[in-house]
Structure 1
Amino acid sequence: MTDQTSQASDDLAPDSRAPEAQANGFATVREARRNELAEDYVELIADLIHQYGEARPVDIAERFGVRAPTVTKTLNRLAREGLITREKYRSVFLTEAGRTLAQECRRRHEIVLRFLIRLGLDPETAERDAEGIEHHVSEQTLALFESYANRP
């Protein structure tokens, strides 16, 4: 083993948390991943409705870079979860729960985006990175991000 490889191995300390705490951490991440798709969809639907007055499945597919069947499957899930209303071959609209979730996602996204830009990240990279971070950051961490982003 080279000195560099040995040093890298030494820097990787094992996770010293209790098994229950480790399991809780992984469960939190799995839940965030499960919710991430729904959050992205309601946020995009809200943006499309704001911009065009409606959100069509074809526009959703184009924006996400996926095929129509993928959008249909996800929209069916969102309808079952009470986040959207839709009829076959019609536009998609957010329910009150969907609007609330979209507003919360937008708030989180804006805080993370401002924080990353405040750190010095260029706006394009910050926008791309905020898209992932917003789903996984805790409220406690988000509050710290906001505090830092709002500093004079």
Structure 2
Amino acid sequence: MTRNLQESVNKTTEDYLEAILMIQERQGYVRSVDVAAQLGVSKPSVTYTTKRLKEQDYLKNDQGGMLVLTEKGMAVADATYTRHKKLSEFFIRLGVKPETALKDACKIEHDLSDETFDAICRHAENNKK
């Protein structure tokens, strides 16, 4: 999914959906407490935001009460997470310390245009070591 399709999705939504995807990949299930820990926010904040994400059809609960991305939520989460990984890898190859690269990628993954992101990806692909 390109950023143009995500323009109406705000940074908080992207952060939550990306965090849910990362947690799902890491441990196979996602609880609200996991999201709170991942994002460094309060449990009531997660409750409020996940309720809103469910209303917008980005998220649902499975039979066990675990958080699950819908198809719509997965599209946004995957696009955001892909940007995060590609930017982090690029910064690390430039010589940036991994922890700094991860933080910086998180800061700009939401605001970078498709044009600039695509150019970074092309440059990285053409200059693999």
TM-score (norm 2): 0.84
Percent of pairs with identical residues: 37
Aligned pair 1:118/2:99, yes or no? no
For the residues of structure 2 that align with 1:120 and 1:144, how far apart are their CA atoms? 19
Gaps of at least 5 residues in structure 2 are: 1-6
2:38 to 59, 63, 71: 63
Q: Which residue of 2 aligns with 1:8?
A: none
Gaps of at least 5 residues in structure 1 are: 1-30
TM-superposition CA deviations, 1:56-94 (whole Å, max 9, x none): 00111111121110001110111111100027x921100
Superposition pairs of residues 3-82 of structure 1, within 5 angstroms: 35-82=10-57
Q: Which runs of 4+ in 1 moved over 3 A?
A: none
For the residues of structure 2 that align with 1:114 and 1:50, how far apart are their CA atoms? 19
Superposition pairs of residues 96-115 of structure 1, within 5 angstroms: 96-115=71-90
Q: Which residue of 1 aligns with 2:124?
A: 149
TM-score (norm 1): 0.72
Letter in 1 for 2:123: Y
Q: Which residue of 1 aligns with 2:68?
A: 93
For the residues of structure 1 that align with 2:51 and 2:89, how far apart are their CA atoms? 33
Q: Which residue of 1 aligns with 2:58?
A: 83
8 Å contact 1:105–1:134 — kept in the other structure?
A: yes
Structure (1 or 2) with the larger CA radius of gyration: 1
8 Å contact 1:84–1:98 — kept in the other structure?
A: yes
